Amino acid sequence: MLRASERTGDLIFITVVQPEKVSGEEGILSIYGELAEYISSHQVELLHERAYGLLSFAETVDRVRDSILATGGKSTYVPVTFVEGMPFNEKVFAGIHVIATTSSGEHSPIVVEKNGQICGCQFQGEEAEYFFLSDVARLLPFSVRGNRPREAYEAIKLTNEILRERNWSYKDVRRTWFYLEDMLDWYSEFNKVRNEIYKNMGLFNCDPQTVIPASTGIFGKNPEGILCTLDVVAIRPVEGQSFQVLQMQSTKQSEATDYGSSFSRGVSITTETCKYIFVSGTASIDEGGRSIHPGNMRLQTIRTIKNVESLLKSAGAHLNQIQQATAFVKNSEDIPVFEQEIRRNGIPNIPIIRTIADVCRDELLFEFDATAVIPL
C-alpha cells in the first residue's frame, strides 16, 4: 500500500508497506511495483530511500528494485539504505520510506560520489537546496570497521567531509538517522562520540542560528556488517527565497542535550509554501529526561504519542499531518497494545512502517519518529 504526500514545496514523502496477505518476494515485488507506477504516473525522481526488512532479503530487494524501477525508465542511482527492521506479522519486509521530487529538466538531482562510490544526491529546488546521504559508514575503510565508537565518529566526520567538498556544512544538516547494531551495549559511548564531534564542529556555540539536527538513534543491523548506519538530510536556503529553520521545543520533554544526547527533539523548516517538520525518535521520557512507565507498553505508547503531539503542536501541526512515520516496538507480544493505542488516539491512517527493534534504553519498549508537512 503506497501513501504519498501532496506536492507541497519541493519534496514529496512516500511510504510503501507490504499488503497484509502478501509475503516473501511477492511482497517486495508488490511494493516496488506500486512505487514504479507512482513514479511513472506522477513524473517524480527519487532523492532518498530507506528499506526495512530481514537481512536475508536485502539482495532480493536490490534485485527486484533494480529490475522494476529500471523497467519504468527511471534511474536507480539513489542508493538504498537497508536496515534490519523485523516486520510485524512475521513478514520478511516491512516497507520503504522515500523522499522524492517532481521531475524537472531545469532542476534535476545531481549524483554525489565519494571514492568512486555513489553515496547520495544533491538537488536545488525552487524553494531550497537539498543534500541527501545514504549509509555513509559503508564508505569507510575496513581498518575503521569493527570498533563501534570509532566507526560512529568516522561516519560523522566523513559526512562533514563530503558536505564541505561541495561547499556545504554540517550546520546545514537538519535530520539524521543512526541505526546501531547491538545498540544497548554501546549507546552511551555513541552519545559521547557524537557530542565530541558536534562540539568540534561548533554545533554547541550558543548561536540561535545554529540548530542541532533532529535524529533517530535506534537498533538496526546492516547487510554489509556496518555497526553505525547513518542517513543524512541537509537543507539550506536558495538566495532570495523565504526560509526559516527552528529547533523545536516540547512542553512534555526537556532538551536531549540536557542529559547528554546531542540531538534536537525536532526541527522545522519553513519555506514560502510549506513547513517541513522532522520529529526525532521519541519515547516515553518525561520533562526531566527520565524514562517513565517502565515495563508498561500501554502507558509508554500513550506518553510517546503525547510527546510527539506536543512537538507537532509547537510547530502548528497535528498528528494527522504526519506524512512518514516509523514505529519501533521492542517486544513482539506488545504489538496488539501498540495497534490499539494508535487507533484510540485517532492516528491509524498515517503512513507508518512498523518494525521490532531495541530502543535506546533497556526499560523503554516503544519509540516513534515522524515527518509532517503543513501547506501554508
CATH 3.30.1330.40 fits 111-241, yes or no: yes
pLDDT tens per residue, range 19-43: 777 778 888 999 999 999 999 899 8
Query: Mind listing the pLDDT tens digit for each residue in 120-159?
Result: 999 999 999 999 999 999 999 999 888 999 999 999 999 9
Whole-number pLDDT of residue 206: 67
Q: Which of 38-42, 143-147, 256-260, 364-368 has the lowest mean pLDDT?
A: 256-260
Strand order in the sheet with 110-114: 110-114, 117-124, 128-133, 228-237, 173-180, 214-219
Model confidence, pTM: 0.95
Residue 74: which pLDDT band, with cuts at 50, 70 and 90?
low
Reply yes or no on whether the pLDDT at 253 is more than 90. Answer: no
For the segment 272-331, what is each residue's pLDDT rounded down to a tens digit?
Answer: 999 999 999 999 998 888 899 999 999 999 999 999 999 999 999 999 999 999 999 999
* pLDDT tier for residue 258 given thresholds of 50, 70 and 90: confident
DSSP state of 369: E
DSSP 227-271: SEEEEEEEEEEPTTS-EEEEE---SSS--GGGGT---BSEEEEEE
Give φ, ψ of 164 to 5 degrees. -65, -35
Query: What is residue 76's predicted lDDT score, i.e. its pLDDT?
Result: 60
Using CB atoms within 10 Å of the CB of residue 41, give its burial: 0 to 12 exposed, 13 to 18 middle, 19+ buried: exposed
The class (CATH top level) of 243-250+263-376 is: alpha beta
Confidence of residue 233 (pLDDT cuts 50, 70, 90): very high
Judge whether 138 and 155 are in contact, CB under 8 Å.
no
Residue type (1 letter), 289: G
Q: Return the percentage of the chain with pLDDT > 90, whole number.
A: 72
Looking at every residue in the chain, the average pLDDT score rounds to 91
The topology under which CATH files domain 1-108 is 60s Ribosomal Protein L30; Chain: A; (3.30.1330)
Q: Quick one: pLDDT at residue 164?
A: 97
Nearest to 154 by CA among 182, 188, 194: 194
HEC letters along 137-165? HHHCCCCCCCCHHHHHHHHHHHHHHHHHH
Give DSSP secondary structure letters for 301-364.
Answer: HHHHHHHHHHHHHHTT--GGGEEEEEEEES-GGGHHHHHHHHHHTT-TTS-EEEEE---SSTT-
| pLDDT at residue number 251 | 82
Does the structure show a pLDDT above 80 at 107? Answer: no
Measured CA distances, 123 to 129, 276, 375 (Å): 6, 17, 21
The three three-digit cell numbers of residue 312, written as one number = 507537532
Query: Please, what is the Cα angle at 23 between 180 and 48, to 5 degrees?
Result: 45
Domain boundaries, the chain: 1-108, 111-241, 243-250+263-376
Among 119, 134, 107, which residue's Cα sits nearest to residue 44? 107
pLDDT for the residue 192: 94
**Domains 111-241 and 243-250+263-376 alike in fold:** yes
CA distance 144 to 131: 25
User: How much is the average pLDDT of 347-352?
Assistant: 84
